[in-house]
Amino acid sequence: MFSLGSNGGKYTKPSFVSYVNPEQKGNDALQEKNPVFLPGEVVFCSASPVLKCTHDDLLEGSIMGTLFCTNFRISFVSDQVLLEDVVQPFRNRLYGENDIPLTCVDQIYGDYDEKRKLITNTQMKNKHPNGIIVHCKDLRVFQFSLKLAKEEAAKKIFQGIVRHSLEPKSLRCIFAFSYCENIAGAPETQNKPRTLMFENIVDWMEEMKRTKGNCKLLEINKDFTISQKVLFDRLPQFFFIPTNVLEKDLAAYQGKGVPIWCWSHHSGCALFKTASLPLVQEESFLRAQKLYMERMLNAVAHNYLYAVKAVDLSETLPSIQDIQQSYSRFKQNFLIDNIGEFWISDMKWFSTLETTRWLSIIRQCLHKAVEVVEYLEKENTNILLIEDGGTDLSCVISSLVQLMLDPHYRTLTGFQSLVQKEWVVGGHNFLERCNHLNNKDKESPVFLLFLECVWQLLQQHSLAFQFSETYLTVLSDSISVAIFSTFIFSSPYQRVSSMKTESQTHGSLLNIPSVWDWSLQFDCKSQEFLFNPLYREKSKQEKTRNKNQRPKPIRQLSLPNATPPKKYFFKEETESLRKMLRGTRISRWMHLSDSAQASVWEFYNAWQQKPLDYHGLLLPDLDGPAIRLWMQRYLRWIPEVQIFGGGDITLVNKITSLSQELEELRMELEQQVRQADPRCKSTETVNKSTIRMSCFFPFASCRSGSFKPAIPTSHCDGEMDMGHLAEREDEDTELTDNSVIRGCAD
């Protein structure tokens, strides 16, 4: 099943008990060249010497070293002694800058005598290329030349890499399993405030209490008895449903159509989501479905006698395939392996971005979320999000809605709890959407799409979030590291059941760590980068002030009620219900309906007129210029676009250092008051280092001293259609008469 690596590993049993003990290898002559292995990590094969080429061959040139392929990563270890003084303030503990986790490999290209071919797992195994180019899911690009390695070793490493990073595999081959067997049951770090994992009743009750909602907790799936039945496997152990929904309703359509509670608005209305009912053609089934859905909607509405609105996401948003296609076109623009290509693509940059439609998909999701926010906030309508599977776009929209309405989710632990609630426990199929097992057909970056939307909100309202842009970037990278339980399962049921099986085989209780345990990836110092230094918690003053003003729900957030809550929802809803249940659906996502757009505009404008409260309702600007490219994530590895000594990071740094200075002053002041004795300490001004950080800090390295600027090499010769104007003279006069100056007004 696995290739025989240079270490002659044999496949013995379904778990990765290391057959080469890393400690033993310590005595080996190769020791210095070995990467630092993680627990449970096993080398499959290696080749040496291999050249790692920088993407600009003209610059530094290449580095000589050894290429490894392990059950976790592809690792390049340089022969050169690492320069210790390289400024590396932000390091990942699990993998270094020359490591590619196997699950992070996006595509591999082979260099066959100056011809570049995309390597797929079925072809070209016999002839190995002179070099390989690895495109990573975190947008890094590596080029390794195998020319210098021995024929046999080159062939082996190539085949090993292709096999382990591209071929379909089983869930148990994911590194997290061998990793968790070899780490002592990770101590549950109980940080305060803690991230709610929503794996027990307590978390759910706490959340319901916090939002002052009123729904019925269902425990019937406590032991995943329901999830064991096919088609039910997405359901969490515990969930809330409207009180009027009966337990037996769950069985009618395999759990589809049952409104699952997401969040309650302070007005009393709430957000629910559900999977849409199976498509049927026959009239009698259709009628039955209609009655069923009407009952469900009624249950959602009757709880509070409020109106209800069903929002069908499959009908109005891009499909899962659209998202995947768009993203694969989009990301291609950042996987750059030579400068010429970079500057050529620079000319048509904006239109290239536009044709991928990725930004437009982001805008549509945000738009849809604002639409839902408007229903909840302005019209106090209950919302039922409906989507085919119920665990993709409904996760995106429901989380975005909550992020906009509830400041709690803009804190770090609040955000993590939200992801747990809506995505991890909510049953998003991370395993297939992230394609960890290399079965491409169901891949789609839905969670990344959500992070993109969050980033848009964050860049527009930088003071409203406790976490930083870097946090989002790192989180998006972590999706493809395959060590965290968060992103490797298709459902909570799969997680629990496969851990049970594994634990039985292993004989002790195993636990795959969660991504939220950031100490696994970063030391304390690096973890600071995950926080937004500009964020301020709501002050006690503000809190009490609000309480005094409005004793009960904090209505300060809401906008003037233009329309009273609609209570006769049925007349209006049946029409859309009918449409929803029709056998065929027409995808209309390409254009937002005008009325919806106008309403959202109006809502946004009204909100924009009011003073901005970072701890209140937060809406995104959806104008063309406002939706931007997530530069840190996508451009951080491209040397040509690093602005050294610039970018917003310089502002953040100034604010941070001033805050520190203030803190010192404050302490000095306190001391003075206490001692009433001035210390004549000469406060040196903060030493200004000459190091200039990249605008993509903390990702790109810093530079000191001078450097050559990036000079665009490709110009627009003949590209721009300037027409006859370009040929004209600036001035119409002949040049022979030097004294003529035209147009001098007097």
Residues 155 to 184: which contact other proteins by CB under 8 A? none
CB of 559 to other proteins, least distance (A): 15
Q: Between residue 185 and residue 204, which ones bind other proteins under the rule CB under 8 A?
A: none
Give 113's contacts (C-beta < 8 A, 6+ positions apart).
Answer: 130
What's the one-letter identity of residue 381?
A: T
Q: Between residue 618 and residue 647, which ones bind other proteins under the rule CB under 8 A?
A: 621, 623-625, 629, 631, 635, 638, 640-647
CB of 459 to other proteins, least distance (A): 12
Looking at residue 531, what DSSP letter applies?
B
Applying CB under 8 A, the span of 207-215, 324-332, 445-453, 650-658 interacting with other proteins comes to: 650-658
Q: Between residue 536 and residue 555, which ones bind other proteins under the rule CB under 8 A?
A: 536, 539, 541-542
CB of 731 to other proteins, least distance (A): 6
CB of 218 to other proteins, least distance (A): 42
Cis bond before residue 39 (omega within 30° of 0): no
Q: Between residue 573 and residue 592, which ones bind other proteins under the rule CB under 8 A?
A: 591
Residue 602 touching other proteins (CB under 8 A): no
Find the radius of gyration of the CA atoms of the chain: 29
Q: Scanning the structure block, which residue is given the tokens 């057959």? A: 19
Nearer to other proteins, 503 or 701 (CB): 701
Nearer to other proteins, 182 or 597 (CB): 597
Nearer to other proteins, 271 or 557 (CB): 557
CB of 631 to other proteins, least distance (A): 7
Residue 715 touching other proteins (CB under 8 A): yes
| Residue 380 host element (H or E) | none
Give, in order, the Cα–Cα distances in Å from 377 to each of 260, 299, 468, 614, 616. 20, 20, 27, 16, 11
What distance lies between CA 372 and its chain's CA centroid?
Answer: 22
Q: Between residue 318 and residue 377, which ones bind other proteins under the rule CB under 8 A?
A: 342-343, 346-351, 353-355, 359
Nearer to other proteins, 583 or 705 (CB): 705
Give 87's contacts (C-beta < 8 A, 6+ positions apart).
Answer: 691, 701, 702
CB of 453 to other proteins, least distance (A): 18
Tokens of 75: 């690792």
Nearer to other proteins, 518 or 644 (CB): 644
**Within 13 Å, how many C-alpha atoms sit on residue 545's CB side?**
6
Nearer to other proteins, 200 or 355 (CB): 355
Q: Between residue 445 and residue 474, which ones bind other proteins under the rule CB under 8 A?
A: 461-463
The answer to whether the beta carbons of residues 166 and 439 sit under 8 Å apart is: no
Applying CB under 8 A, the span of 233-241, 263-271, 432-440, 648-656 interacting with other proteins comes to: 648-656
- Which one among 36, 217, 251, 655 touches other proteins, defined by CB under 8 A? 655
CB of 482 to other proteins, least distance (A): 30
Residue 666 touching other proteins (CB under 8 A): yes
Q: Between residue 674 and residue 713, which ones bind other proteins under the rule CB under 8 A?
A: 676-678, 680-683, 685, 688, 690, 692, 695, 706, 708-712
Give, in order, the Cα–Cα distances in Å from 37 to each of 17, 79, 140, 656. 14, 17, 21, 36
C-alpha span between 134 and 335 (Å, rounded):
10
Nearer to other proteins, 552 or 591 (CB): 591
Tokens of 532: 């937004």
CB of 337 to other proteins, least distance (A): 16
Q: DSSP string spanning 331-373?
A: HHTT----HHHHHHHHHTHHHHHHHH-HHHHHHHHHHHHHHHH
CB of 345 to other proteins, least distance (A): 9
Residue 648 touching other proteins (CB under 8 A): yes
| Residue 457 host element (H or E) | helix 446-460
Nearer to other proteins, 53 or 347 (CB): 347
Tokens of 288: 């039955």
> Of 385, 380, 382, nearest to 399 (Cα)?
385
The SS3 assignment for 69 reads strand
The answer to whether the beta carbons of residues 376 and 304 sit under 8 Å apart is: no
Q: Between residue 395 and residue 434, which ones bind other proteins under the rule CB under 8 A?
A: none
Cβ atoms within 10 Å of 723's Cβ, excluding its own: 8
The SS3 assignment for 143 reads strand
CB of 705 to other proteins, least distance (A): 9
